[in-house]
Structure 1
Amino acid sequence: MEKINYPGLNETLYKETLPNGLNVILLPKLGFNKTYGLFTTNYGSIDNRFVPLGEHEIVEVPDGIAHFLEHKMFEKEDGDVFQQFGAQGASANAFTSFTRTSYLFSSTTQINENITTLLDFVQAPYFTEETVEKEKGIIGQEIQMYQDDANWRLFFGIIGNLYPTHPLHIDIAGTIESIADITAEDLYLCYRTFYHPSNMNLLVVGNMEPETMMAHIRHNQANKSFPDATLIEREFPEVTTADIIKKASINMPVNRSKVIVGLKGTKSLPTEGFELLRYQTAVNLLLQLLFGDTSSNREIMYNEGLIDDSFGYDFSLDRGYYFADFGGDSKEPERLVEKIRDILLTATSSSEITEPKLRLLKKKMLGKYLQSLNSLEYIANRFSQMQFGDATLFDMAEVIESITLDDIYKAIDHFIQEDALSEFYMYPEDH
């Protein structure tokens, strides 16, 4: 078991890759009452074309199947896993993203029992055609609920503009039509391919003794048999700036117009983990400088009535893609788009980007980061989201400190490209 000390944060991480390929990470947090377990597979909604385990040809499965599989994992022949966690004093949940599926629990008691339950239920699938058909109605209602959510539709509207040929633009839950085609055989096919321990990681954070916990996990995994690990072959369409839909709109029953501007990342990213984390942090600081609460750009847009408190921005970077989005409600959405585009395309000469402002934002980011380390949920979820090689969440303090004004200008040059911009509008139905 590898032991990694972070003396500046007073944290110690324990890591081990088990013989079956499962990557286990333990973070003892003595003095905390709660323990949090997160079991994650590197498999999400975009992974719909792949070579199944033991086969040689690419197959395509229905959209939404990763999310559907997540739902079905909790149902077993002898009952519902949620009830078992509840009987052991734990609350459990799961979520599916574009690139990952995670199963989790939190508890203050019976930690070993809950770890066992977490590992056992995820590693013992049970699907029948009857239960699969029953689930289609439940997930269909969930899909419809999101279709009625204006902000959700706005977000997927801009993704659809930026990635019209990539599965990223498809709702994580799929469509009512696509899930109608899912069979129990499809679920087992995806499960066998993506739920192999070598494609998964287990993170336990909280009040525990690491040697004892690792021994417990080793024993659990040693009693199970898995096929030999193989490299998973996934297939994605090539994406270019030429694919981008520059402008689109829909009408929905909203009181005010909404708009979102998207900026698609088109250039290659650093391959080394620490440098990739630095790039992500530099872009986040750049966006804070240009659009953050303390920027004069934001104040001007607010005073001109172009934005209100709904305005926000985000930067997403994950396996195979990265993009930023900016927007919210606006009484003059077209003018707001012009302003956002102007701020982005003149960023190199922006008066917002100065050494004192960067220094202040770095202190703010560092303070927020250090405060977040008191949350077990934050630590666990951030660890599962970060795909940066050997770099971890606990390298963030060093990364934040290392960002210079030169890094900000390099991020502008690398990321902000006029031909990579798109806009998506949502107007009231009577517009």
Structure 2
Amino acid sequence: MEKKNYEQLDETLYTETLSNGLSVTLLPKNGFHKTYGLFTTKYGSIDNQFVPLGKKEMIRVPDGIAHFLEHKMFEKEDGDVFNTFGKLGASANAFTSFTQTSYLFSSTSNVLENIETLLDFVQEPYFTEETVNKEKGIIAQEIQMYEDEPDWRLFFGILGNMYPKHPLHIDIAGTVDSIMDITADLLYESYETFYHPSNMNLFVVGKMDPEKMMQWIRDNQAKKEFPTAVAIKRHFPEETATDIKPFDSIEMPVQRAKSMIGIKGIGPVPKGKAALEYKTAMDLLLTLLVGPTSDNYLKLYDKGIIDDSFSYDFSLDRTFHFADIGGDAKDPAAFSTVIKEILLTAKESPELTEEKLTLVKKRMIGQVLQSLNSLEYIANQYSQQAYGEATLFDVVPIIEGITLNQLKVLAEEFMQEKHMSVFHILPKGDGEA
């Protein structure tokens, strides 16, 4: 078990890769009463084309199968796993994203028993055609609920414009039609391919004895047999700037229109620590340009072009990176026009000064330090593992090291009109040509 100290933050991280390939990370925080466990597989909604374990040919599975699999993992032949966690005094949950599926619990007691329950239920699948067909109706209702959610439609609308070929534009839960093609056999095939320990990581944070915890995990895994690990072959369509759809809109029964601008990252996604540096720099750049303390934000707010729904984000993960900026808009055309103008002139923006960068850095460092008081936040950040050896505890020195010139270069390279797209949601009856 390797031990790494972060003296600046007074944190110690314990890591080990077990003989079956499972990556385990422990972060003792004995000032807390709660312990939080997160068991994650690098399998998400975009992984819909792959070569199944033990086979040679690439297959295409129904959209939404990773999310469907997550739902079915809690149901076992002898009952519901939620009841088991409840009896042990724990609350449990799970979630599926574009690139991962995570199972979690939090508890103030019976921590070792809860860790064992977490490992055992995720590593013991049970599916039947009867239970699979029953679940289809439940998930179909969930899909229909999100189809009526304007903000959800806005986000996937801009993804559809930027990534028309890539599965990123497909709803994580799939469609009502696609989930009807899911079978127990397909679930087992997906499970066996992606739920191998070598494609998974376990993160535990909170009150614990790290030596005792790691031995408990080793003993649990030693009782189980797994096939030999093999590299997973996934396929994603090639994406270029010419695939981007510059504009689209839909009508929905909303009181106010909505607008979102997307900027698609073109070219290879940075890896390891470089990815964390890139994402941190982009977060700083967007905050300087349109953050709540920027002059741009205040002017647009005063003019009524934006309101409290305004938000911005930068996402970076396997095979994709993009920025999205949006919110409610009285005049969506004016909203998108002015935001694009801010982005396209970013390199010369009066917002990019040493003084303002220093202030934004201090604020961001404060937010990072405050977030370290949340076990859930720490665990969720670690589970992503998109940054190689770099961790959440490397963010503060990365923030400190970013220069104004770096941000200006990033603005010039990333903020290009050919990489941008706009999506509007309009009140019914106000459609645009």
TM-score w.r.t. length of structure 1: 0.99
Aligned to 1:422: 421
Q: Residues of 2 paired with 1:418 and 1:428: CA distance? A: 27
Deviation at 1:383, TM superposition (A): 0.9
2:190 maps to 190
Match of 2:373 in 1: 374
Deviation per residue, 1:308-338 (Å, 9 max, x gap): 1111111111111000111111111101111
2:115 paired with 1:110: no
Is the deviation greater in 112-121 or in 412-421?
A: 412-421
Q: Which residue of 2 aligns with 1:99?
A: 99
Distance 1:268 1:44 in 2: 20
Letter matched to residue 185 of structure 1: D
**AA paired with 1:44?**
G
Does the CA-based 8 Å contact 2:158-2:261 persist in structure 1?
Answer: yes
Deviation at 1:407, TM superposition (A): 1.5
Three-state SS of the structure 2 residue aligned to 1:327 is strand
Report the AA paired with residue 379 of structure 2.
A
Q: Percent identity?
A: 64
Give me the CA root mean square deviation.
0.7
Query: What is the DSSP-based 3-state SS (H/G/I as helix, E as strand, rest coil) of the residue aligned with 1:363?
Result: helix
Q: Does 1:221 align with 2:188?
A: no
Aligned-residue offset at 1:89: 0.1
Distance 2:21 2:427 in 1: 52
Match of 2:236 in 1: 236
Q: 1:90·1:114 contact (CA, 8 Å) conserved in 2?
A: yes
Q: Is the 8 A contact 1:267 1:414 kept in 2?
A: no
Q: How does 1:9-408 map to 2 (within 5 A)?
A: 9-271=9-271, 273-408=272-407
Q: Within 1, Cα distance between the matches of 2:268 and 2:32?
A: 41
CA shift in 2, pair 1:386/1:300, >3 Å: farther
Unaligned runs of 5+ in 2: none
Count of aligned positions: 430
Extract structure 1 runs of 4+ deviating beyond 2 A: 267-271
- One-letter amino acid of the structure 2 residue matched with residue 209 of structure 1: D
Using the size of structure 2 for normalisation, the TM-score is 0.98
**Deviations 1:148-197 (CA, angstroms, capped at 9, x unpaired):** 10000000000000001110000000000000000000000000000000
How far residue 253 of structure 1 moved from its aligned partner, in angstroms, is: 0.5
Q: Distance in 2 between matches of 1:200 and 1:134?
A: 28
CA-to-aligned-CA distance 1:10-50 (integer Å, 9 cap, x gap): 00000000000000000000121000000000000000000
Query: What letter corresponds to residue 23 of structure 2 in structure 1?
Result: N
Q: Please say if residues 66 and 101 of structure 2, whose CA atoms lie closer than 8 Å, have aligned partners that are also in contact.
A: yes
Distance in 1, matches of 2:384 and 2:199, equals: 14
Structure 2 SS opposite 1:39: strand
**Are the aligned partners of 2:38 and 2:379 in contact in 1 as well (CA < 8 Å)?**
yes
Distance in structure 1 (CA, Å) of the matches to 2:103 and 2:205: 14
Q: 1:229-256, CA deviations, whole angstroms, 9 ceiling, x for partnerless residues?
A: 0000000000011111111000000001
Mapped partners of 2:10, 2:414: distance in 1: 35
TM superposition shift of 1:299: 1.2
Deviation at 1:304, TM superposition (A): 1.6
SS in 2 for 1:294: coil
CA contact (8 A) 1:67 1:173 kept: yes
**Is the contact made by 2:269 and 2:320 (CA closer than 8 Å) also made in structure 1?**
no
Quick one: distance in 2 between partners of 1:33 and 1:353?
A: 43
> Residues 269 and 317 of structure 2 are in contact (CA less than 8 Å); yes or no, is this contact kept in structure 1?
no
1:42–1:194 contact (8 Å) kept in structure 2: yes
